[in-house]
Amino acid sequence: MDIALLASGGVDSAVATHLLCERGEKPTLFYIIIGAQEESEFSCTMEEDLEMVNLLARQYGLRVETVDLHRDYWDKVVSYLIDRVKSGLTPNPDVMCNSLIKFGSFYDKVGKGFERIVTGHYASTVVDNGVKYLATSPDPVKDQTDFLCQITIEQLNRLEFPIGLLRKADVRAIAERYNLAPAHRKDSQGICFLGNTTYNALLRRYLGDKEGNIIEWESGRVLGKHQGYWYYTLGQRKGLRLGGGPWFVVKKDVDSNTVFVSLDIESPNQLCNASEFSLEGWHELAPDIVSSAETKLDCLPVFFKIRHSPEFEEGALCYSESLGRYVVKCNRTLRGVAPGQFAVIYVPYKDGRKICIGSGEIR
């Protein structure tokens, strides 16, 4: 069976490789290039990553190939990021990188030629009554199903996550026991395409700086200046450089380039807090579960996340005829609900895991 394994040079994909080889399978290792190779502030040093991948390949007698998706990344993911930020929204480039690049461009250009695509994600799958579902990892801190929420059902059917039922400590222990080259490498922090620079530097390159006012929402009092609303997200506390705080961002006005802040972030009536919100671009991963309610007007009890965290929120997924879209009704008022974020929806599975049934952008 032809198997493509996405190898990053990190410990997770290394252990995924080991587990496949241990059961007698021989995947082809693919290293995806997304960072600029030319010398620039956004260049990405991949020598160490590739060295780790090649050492792993030699240890198990595997073939290594590189796939250059740098242009795809900038044309698709970075353009999505800039467009959303410019519109005052809060994007999630990690979700779109998985959807558009790792399981998008790679799948279209290379992956379709393989029967299975294997990664080192902390996620699992469930097959129930002949249907394959995306399910959570037992490690709540490392679980990455929310980053996979926009993959397609076709892609999911070919995907395998060998470390999906392991905790990070177990993965490290396996890497050390079998002397895998990346055993002691630190987990990657952030996205490779940023190279030696920062997220704000990327925004500055494409959107520049434009001075605007920071205003207290309740009083209308000008508290300070900022260099562009695109540098802030709803619920943000750090980086405001205001005295007498802590202050929280509660609204951004795109037209006037104004950032509104408040000391009272806990109030249920605060602008960035919500007990329900609607979803645009509903992306379904388990249509049979969503439609299992008697009618579309029924609400489905669900767990959900609106940001990457170990904890789940509880509520109900309901279809609004008047809005023509799904609405999430929360069991409690949530703080810092930012339009543009993905709400990832889950239902419980009988073995204690949760199945990801779909996602949409908060509007």
pLDDT in tens, 200-231: 888 999 999 999 999 999 999 999 999 999 99
pLDDT in tens, 115-162: 999 999 999 999 999 999 999 999 999 999 999 999 999 999 999 999
Ranges for all domains in the chain classified under CATH 2.30.30.280: 209-262
pLDDT digits (tens, 9 = 90+) for 256-275: 999 999 998 777 667 778 89
CATH of domain 209-262: 2.30.30.280
The residue from 21, 97, 149, 318 that is catalytic is 97
Question: 3-120+162-194 in CATH: which number?
Answer: 3.40.50.620
What's the rounded Cα separation, in Å, for the pair 68 and 183? 26
Q: What is the CATH number of domain 274-362?
A: 2.40.30.10
Give the residue among 61, 53, 45 at the shortest CA–CA distance from 9.
Answer: 53
191 pLDDT above the threshold of 90 = no
Band of residue 199 on the pLDDT scale cut at 50, 70, 90: confident
Helices (H) and strands (E) counted in the chain, each on its own, are: 10, 17
Give CA separation, 61 vs 17, 21, 51, 149, 263, in Å: 11, 10, 15, 33, 59
For residue 235, pLDDT over 90 is answered with no
pLDDT at 27: 97
Give the per-residue pLDDT at 28: 97
CATH 3.40.50.620, the chain: domain bounds: 3-120+162-194
What are the tens digits of pLDDT across the range 316-325? 999 998 999 9
Residue intervals in the chain for CATH 2.40.30.10: 274-362
DSSP 78: I
- pTM (predicted TM-score): 0.90
Task: Give mean pLDDT, residues 60-72.
Answer: 94
- Who has greater pLDDT, 291 or 135? 135
pLDDT score for 98: 87
pLDDT at residue number 349 = 96
192 counts as catalytic: yes
Residue 294 has a pLDDT of: 43
Given a cut of 70, whether residue 41 has pLDDT beyond it is no
Q: Do 264 and 349 meet the contact criterion of CB atoms below 8 Å apart?
A: no
| Residue 184: per-residue pLDDT | 87
**Active-site option among 149, 192, 272, 318:** 192
Element (H, E) at 17: helix 11-22
**pLDDT score for 264:** 84
State residue 258's pLDDT score.
97
The verdict on whether 97 is a catalytic residue reads yes
Mean pLDDT over each residue of the chain, to the nearest integer: 90
Q: What pLDDT shows up at residue 34?
A: 83
Q: Which residue has the higher pLDDT, 336 or 349?
A: 349
